[in-house]
Chains A and B, each alone.
Chain A
Amino acid sequence: MYVYDDFDRTLVEERVRDFRDQVGRRLSGELTEEEFKPLRLMNGVYLQLHAYMLRIAIPYGTLSSDQMRMLAHVARKYDRNYGHFTTRQNIQFNWIKLEQLPDAMADLARVGLHGMQTSGNCVRNITTDQWAGVAPDEIEDARIWAELLRQHLTLHPEFSFLPRKFKIALTAAAHDRAAVRVHDIGLRMHRNSAGETGFEVIVGGGLGRTPFIGKTIKPFLPKRDLLSYVEAILRTYNQYGRRDNIYKARIKILVHELGAEKFAREVEEEWQPIRNGALALEAAGVAEITQRFRYPDCPVLEDEPAELGRARAGDPRFRIWLDNAVFNHKLLGHAIVTLSLKPVGAPPGDATAQQMDAIADLADRYSHGEIRVGHEQNLVLPHVAQRDLPALWRALDTIGVATPNVGLVSDIIACPGLDYCSLANARSIPVAEEITRRFKDLDLARSLGRLHINISGCINACGHHHIGHIGILGVEKNGEEYYQVTIGGRADDAARLGTILGPAVPYGEIADVVEDIAAAYLELRERPDEHFIHTFERVGVEPFKERVYAAG
């Protein structure tokens, strides 16, 4: 965990005081809605279909058990007993009242949580690998660099009114679990031939109306230059990004229109005069941040202890969960455990206050009080002793977060869609729920293997449909909900946008289409271990298209 200092605490408390004053003035009529709206958005407060929505940042996806308990408290006291974890390592409360928001924010501030920069045209919550600090394949703990960026870019006066919102993701592992190629800036740590570590800098990725995979403009940036180079990118964007057309305002459009090479030259010109200035990261400064990350004192333990082997042999349900939701930790005798927030027939990413409290208690008991939030809308306990896995599984199963579907067809990423969102054209959640019902047979889901479905209720693509192996986009046609399907997208190291399958289908047929695609894959794959995405890459879209539209 990162330990906040007095500066951070003061900043958050002052923001709560300011916001309480602003809400009071709005309710009294002293502020108009036009004056108040930008102020509430700066604190993550949106107005959705039925109510205000509060979005709270979870920097680099790391939560303490106390913070999780506070989220449960807010859900219980100010909302309807649940929260929704998002694809950007945030949590949203959907039913919060404006009149009560200052009190809710004051409660959140007690544990260092807030909604700053979760909305508006600023640098949003910086996301990273939910396994950072514990992943066996990582070079370094990515959160240290995410924290440096967070500190530098929080309330940065020059970047508080950018042409449009700005999203940064960072990974320091061999496998990209943070989808860095579809962010405004993606940072990927590498080790060079001299053994030094630095960042590949990727810009102009993004989804939404005009999706792009980001372009690498700097293959290897020394770590000392991270802040100055990001500053140079933001300055270049701030200067040249379009403010005349909201649909062309993101950096991806600028990079596309200028070309990556020209954009890189502009950044270089901006960067050279500042690279050796105040933003150059010296070792002492980095060490200061590093030492504020407290790592649990995990004892050296036996790998694959006998009690784990006995439990695996003795209970097939436990074995299936173990094989699906438990991953190698960098320390022997420990494990990373994913908690599925994707039970069959329920909204993806939602957790009740009771579940949040129980997860906080389990984190204290089994994971040194630490919880992570991943962009796939699941939670993670990052420091579990392998010998504790049977007991932990029983507890997780009791509270409904041990569905062994991590990475499978029912581990669906979905936005809130038209059930909540004022921008949406179509519903996402009931589509996701129906698909999980169609694939509730775990043997079928396991036989399909790794298969990512992403659902967005509108072109803004909060469900990242472009990069789903199967992507589903809700559209409205003559007052009816239709769904356009793409296949072959991926978010990882080989990120790619999906290919449109064919004409959109009505609400009542979309789950059938997914079943048809799954059936086609089972027939087309060469071997049981050829993943869906690899079959698609081998055969292309046509065989899937024929299967889906043949019946029509």
Chain B
Amino acid sequence: MTSPLQQKLKVTGPVVVTANRLGDGAVVYRTAQGNWTGDLAGAAVVTTASAATELLAAALADKLRAVDVYVAPVELTAEQQVIPGNLRERIRLNGPTIPLPGES
């Protein structure tokens, strides 16, 4: 399988680097300080391929805290709030779109 670093990154808008936390699989985002957070608002948002590559490389090097690292699109609202850029990422952030059994 090709490493995400070997794949040509196409960045046409704001993106973040996301992954799943090793210990429990929870969705996490790479911060500008080189940590991981479950809060998308705390993610480092970049807009160029070179910045995304740099962020991704640092995240991939962190092999002990996160797995399945990749670049994901986000959008910025008028209030500069970061929101997921597609349905898959919305579901990753917010959970299933249906009530879980026992909750409904």
Contact = CB atoms under 8 A, between A and B. Distances in A.
Contacts of B91: 49, 418-419
Interface in B53-104: 63-64, 67-68, 86-88, 91-92, 95-98, 100-102, 104
A534 interface: no
A433 interface: yes
Contacts of A479: 86-87
Interface stretch (B9-17, B19-27, B29-37): B19-27
A155 B96 CA distance: 35
Contacts of A418: 87-88, 91
A50 B26 contact: yes
A50 B63 contact: no
B102 A430 contact: no
Given A419-B96, A429-B96, A351 B20 contact: no
Interface string A70-99: 000000000011100000000000000111
A129 B97 CA distance: 33
Interface string A400-438: 000000000000000000111010000101100100000
Q: How large is the interface on B (under 10, 10 to 19, 20 to 34, 35 or more residues)?
A: 20 to 34
A419 B97 contact: yes
Contact of A97 (B25, B95, B100, B102): B25
Contacts of A27: 22-23
A447 interface: no
Contact of A347 (B26, B64, B101): B101
Contacts of A427: 97
Interface string A251-288: 00000000000000000000000000000000000000
A506 to B, nearest CB: 12
A144 to B, nearest CB: 35
B24 A81 contact: no
A347 B95 CA distance: 15
Given A47-B68, A98-B25, A479-B86, A347 B102 contact: no
B25 A351 contact: no
Contacts, number: 73
Contact of B101 (A26, A50, A351, A422): A351
A50 to B, nearest CB: 6
Given A29-B64, A98-B22, A99-B24, A50 B92 contact: yes
Contacts of B67: 33, 47
Interface string A199-242: 00000000000000000000000000000000000000000000
Contacts of A420: 96
A345 interface: yes
Contact of B102 (A52, A352, A433): A352
Contacts of B24: 51-52, 97-99
Max chain A C-beta neighbours (<10 A), residue from B25, B27, B96, B97: B25
Nearest to B68: A47
B43 to A, nearest CB: 17
A47 B96 contact: no
A430 B98 contact: yes
B92 A352 contact: no
A51 B23 contact: no
B98 A347 contact: yes
Interface string A461-493: 000000000000000000101000000000000
Contacts of A98: 22-25
Contacts of A430: 97-98
B98 A51 contact: no
A354 B103 CA distance: 13
A419 B98 contact: yes
A346 B104 CA distance: 8
A453 B53 CA distance: 44
Contacts of B101: 81-82, 346-347, 350-352
A21 to B, nearest CB: 17
A51 B88 CA distance: 14
B16 to A, nearest CB: 16
Contacts of A291: none
Contacts of A32: 63
B76 to A, nearest CB: 17
Nearest to A427: B97
A48 interface: yes
A80 B67 CA distance: 22
A113 to B, nearest CB: 20
Contacts of A346: 101, 104
Contacts of A81: 101-102
Nearest to A353: B102
Max chain A C-beta neighbours (<10 A), residue from B26, B27, B100: B100
A49 B87 CA distance: 12
A418 B92 CA distance: 9
Nearest to A100: B24
Contacts of B68: 47, 422
A49 B27 contact: yes
21 contacts: A29-B64, A48-B25, A49-B88, A50-B25, A50-B26, A50-B92, A51-B20, A52-B24, A81-B101, A82-B101, A97-B23, A97-B24, A98-B22, A99-B23, A418-B87, A418-B91, A419-B91, A419-B96, A419-B97, A420-B96, A481-B87
Given A81-B101, A97-B24, A346-B104, 19 more contacts: A29-B64, A33-B22, A33-B63, A48-B25, A49-B92, A50-B92, A50-B95, A51-B24, A52-B24, A80-B100, A82-B101, A97-B25, A98-B24, A352-B101, A352-B102, A422-B68, A429-B96, A430-B98, A433-B98
Interface of B: 20, 22-27, 63-64, 67-68, 86-88, 91-92, 95-98, 100-102, 104
10 shortest A-B CB distances, which residue pairs?
A419-B96, A51-B25, A97-B24, A82-B101, A52-B25, A350-B101, A352-B102, A29-B64, A99-B23, A33-B67
